A and B are shown apart, each in its own frame.
Chain A
Amino acid sequence: MALVEIREVDKTFQRGSERIDVFIGLTLDIAEGSFTALMGPSGSGKPTLLNLVAGLDRPTRGSVRVAGAEVSAMRPNQLAPWRARHIGFVFQQLNLLPVLTAYQNVELPLLLTRLSRKERDERIRLALGVVGLEDRLSHYPRQLSGGQEQRVAIARAIVADPTLVLLDEPTGQLDARSSGDVLQLLGRLNQEFKKAIIIVTHDAHAADAARTVLHLDKGRLIERQGAAV
């Protein structure tokens, strides 16, 4: 069984009197333990697909299942705890809360769990260690480089050991070197820690780091490269 199952999904937005069909009958599967890149031109629906998988948005029609759960049928009060347990999210920008240190930012998802302070501390240090920032615990985002900020965001995304890590343009704001560091880290998370990862990207280097690349255009899956489900 695939980790993510998208079946006959339509997604329509209404902008004033204009109806915008982002997806019409989209069907695709994403395997457990995969590292998938979603590519395509602007307006192809990449972030929308990510939002549907994370339960941040609902399909107009069709179903989205993640790890066996019908995300598209969940009520709002069920979605938040489900997301906390199963999804790690990294955004292109605005990832970190500027008033919190790297340590406190990474702690955020754990505040929603029943873990003790000691257990949380162990997890935070482990996650920041994985991303190579164990020496930046008490740094605020403004004291970190763009690449380091993104790595803290990744640490936050994995700290609660989610089923799936979703990244929206994780290298979009980074220079080549930082971008390389982040992609290397993602590859390691996927191979070493067996984390399923989906990234949305315009960056061909980022797509190269993934094992599967899905090309979207005008709301349709037009090409699949790499490992099949």
Chain B
Amino acid sequence: MRFLHLVLANLGRHKLRTLLTTASVALALFLFASLRTVVTTLDAAARFGSARRLVSTNATGIVFPLPLSYANKLRAVPGVEAVTWANWFGGRYGDNKRFFAQFAVDPQSYLEMYPEISLPEDQKQAFFRERSSAIIGRRLVDVFGWRLGQNVTIRGTIFPGDWTFTIRGIYTPTDAVINDDMLLFRHDYLEERVGRPGIAGWYVFRIDDANHAAQIARTVDGQFKNSSAATKTGTEQAFNASFATMWGNVSLLMGTIGLAVVFAILLVTANAMMMSARERTGEVAVLKAIGFSDRIVFGLVMLEAAAIALTGALLGLGGAKFLYKATNFNAAGFLPGFDVTTSTLLLGATVALLLMLASGLVPAIRAARLPVVQALRRVE
């Protein structure tokens, strides 16, 4: 502690340089935390889901629909207890600055399939009664200020035209498998408006025993194997994971970008530290001449690197944690539950520690090994 003022004084020697170096470390760790949180959020989303719920999509790809007639055939499969279906709507609201997901669902069977969607009974009945009604997640109330009974018009993209829905319910998710910023409207309303094509985006069905999942999935896919719309059936978790990986290998991409950013900043920081140490060759020689040991000189330089890395880590990691929490960030609905996890903070702190070692070690060793006589002669 008695050397602290010496460390602080050295850091204050070039205030702007110290500030910029610290800011670059903070920015690197902020980006690191952000990119990693994208990965952890996607991973977490992929882990949600009931083991007793299976999802069937078109084997060709999720963007291709399945016939609505499959519903009855699925109900007839042994082990299947209940069936529901849904369609991605993909509409835009207002200036589209705030995206949120909209799904056309079969009201009764969908709400029965997902007890995690908590909705007051009277609102549920209103949704069942009124064909153009919709229910919304609580977050949309916060975001748009919508209220029960309000008409909301959404511009269709996959299904063109203006679609007006009357809000009849505001649900609260009881489990992370359900996002709190969806708009669910009735599938029969969609069918009616687009001329009854008889399609569903995907099917969800509940099975009697999670241990039968693989066998039932095989039965379902076998049943439709030679039809015009073959199915691909998997668990709800696998379905969520497939959504998460729709953008390709996101984890690898984000991880690579994160490492590249950290490495780039490492070079900047190391360069700044070495420049700072080089400028002080004469001063280090004087310190050694008055009795500062190699170990103390090494420690002083490492403490400087530590102060920069620690401050950068606090600002970068703390800033990411606080900012995303305070703004309730969810990447316009794509990344619900976006929160910098403790493991990300610990990993970020480890990165900061490595950054400190990598940027501080070389100048610290050089300073410690500096031959006093040569250094003084060079300076003089």
Map CB proximity to A onto B6-29 as digits: 1 under 8 Å, 0 otherwise: 100110110000000000000000
| B380 & A89 in contact (Cβ 8 Å cutoff) | no
- Cβ of B379 under 8 Å from chain A: yes
B-contacting 9-mer, from A31-39, A104-112, A126-134, A186-194: A104-112
Which residues from chain A contact B283 at a C-beta distance below 8 Å? 94, 97
Other contacts beyond A56-B288, A83-B290, A157-B290: 17, CB < 8 A:
A57-B373, A77-B293, A77-B295, A81-B293, A84-B290, A84-B291, A87-B290, A94-B283, A94-B379, A94-B380, A104-B6, A108-B290, A111-B2, A111-B3, A112-B291, A112-B296, A156-B290
Quote the shortest CB–CB distance from B327 to chain A (angstroms). Answer: 40
Whether A85 is near chain B, meaning CB under 8 Å from some CB there, is yes
Contact assessment for A56 and B286 in the assembled complex, using a CB-CB cutoff below 8 Å:
no
The minimal Cβ–Cβ distance linking A114 to chain B, given in whole angstroms, is 10
- In this complex, what residue of B is CB-closest to A94? B282
- B346 in contact (CB, < 8 A): no
Whether B291 and A83, one on each chain, are in contact in the complex, defined by CB atoms closer than 8 angstroms, is yes
Task: Name the one of A76, A80, A81, A91 contacting B376, with C-beta atoms under 8 angstroms.
Answer: A91
**Which of the residues A80, A92, A94, A99 comes within 8 Å of B291, measured between beta carbons?**
A80
Residue B292 at the chain A interface, CB threshold 8 Å: yes
Min distance, Cβ B318 to any Cβ of chain A, angstroms: 28
Q: Is the CB of B292 within 8 A of A112?
A: yes
Q: Can you list 28 A-B pairs with a CB-CB distance of less than 8 A?
A: A51-B372, A54-B289, A56-B289, A56-B373, A77-B294, A80-B291, A80-B292, A80-B294, A81-B293, A84-B290, A87-B290, A87-B291, A88-B290, A89-B289, A89-B290, A91-B289, A94-B282, A94-B286, A94-B379, A94-B380, A99-B10, A99-B13, A100-B6, A108-B287, A108-B292, A111-B2, A111-B6, A112-B292
From A80, A84, A85, A97, give the contact of B286 (CB < 8 A).
A97
CA distance A95 to B289 in the complex (A): 10
CB-based contact B291/A81 at 8 Å? yes
- B291–A104 CB distance below 8 A: no
CB of A93 closer than 8 Å to a CB of B: yes
A57 vs B282: C-alpha distance in the bound complex, in angstroms? 16
What's the Cα separation between A157 and B380 when bound, in Å? 20
Task: Check if B5 is an interface residue, CB within 8 A of chain A.
Answer: yes
Partner of B372 from the list A56, A99, A157 (CB cut-off 8 Å) is A56
- In the bound assembly, the distance between CA atoms of A157 and B289 in angstroms comes to 11
List of A residues within 8 angstroms of B296 by Cβ: 80, 112
Separation of A56 and B5 alpha carbons in the complex (Å): 26
Indicate with 1 or 0, residue by residue over B260-301, a CB within 8 angstroms of chain A CB atoms. 000000000000000000000011011111111111100000
Give Cα A98–Cα B283 distance, bound, in whole angstroms: 9
Contact status A95-B286, CB under 8 Å: yes
A76 CA / B298 CA spacing, docked (Å) = 14
Assembled-state Cα–Cα distance A54/B373 (Å): 11
Q: Chain A nearest CB: distance from B100 CB in Å?
A: 55
Bound together, the chains give a CA A92 to CA B3 distance in angstroms of 26
Chain A residues lying within 8 Å of B6, measured Cβ to Cβ, are 100, 104, 108, 111
Interface string of B351-380 (1 = CB under 8 A from A): 000000000000000000000110010011
A108 partner residues in chain B, CB cutoff 8 A: 6, 287, 290, 292
Residue contact A93 to B380, C-beta cutoff 8 Å? yes
How close is B295's CB to chain A, nearest CB, in angstroms?
A: 8
Chain B 25-60 near chain A by CB (<8 Å), digits 1 or 0: 000000000000000000000000000000000000
Closest-by-CB residue of A relative to B12 is A99
Closest to A80 in B: B293
> Are A76 and B373 within 8 A (Cβ)?
no
Interface readout for A38-51 with B: 1 if CB under 8 Å, 0 if not? 00000000000001
Q: Which of B6, B290, B294, B296 has the most CB of A within 10 A?
A: B290
Instruction: Chain A residues near B282: list those with CB within 8 A.
Output: 94
User: Distance (Å) between the CB of A58 and the closest chain B CB?
Assistant: 10
Question: What are the residues of chain A within 8 A of B294 when measuring CB–CB?
Answer: 76-77, 80
Chain A residue contacts of B292, Cβ below 8 A: 80, 84, 108, 112
Provide the bound-state CA to CA distance between A84 and B287, in Å: 10
Residues of B within 8 Å of A56, CB to CB, are: 288-289, 372-373
B14: nearest residue on chain A (CB-CB)?
A99
| CB nearest to B282 among chain A residues | A94
A116 vs B295: C-alpha distance when bound (angstroms): 22
Docked pose: A95 CA to B6 CA in angstroms: 16
How far, in whole Å, are A217 and B282 apart by their CA atoms in the complex? Answer: 28
Q: For B291, what are the chain A residues with a Cβ–Cβ distance below 8 Å?
A: 80-81, 83-85, 87, 109, 112
CB distance B293 to A100 under 8 Å? no
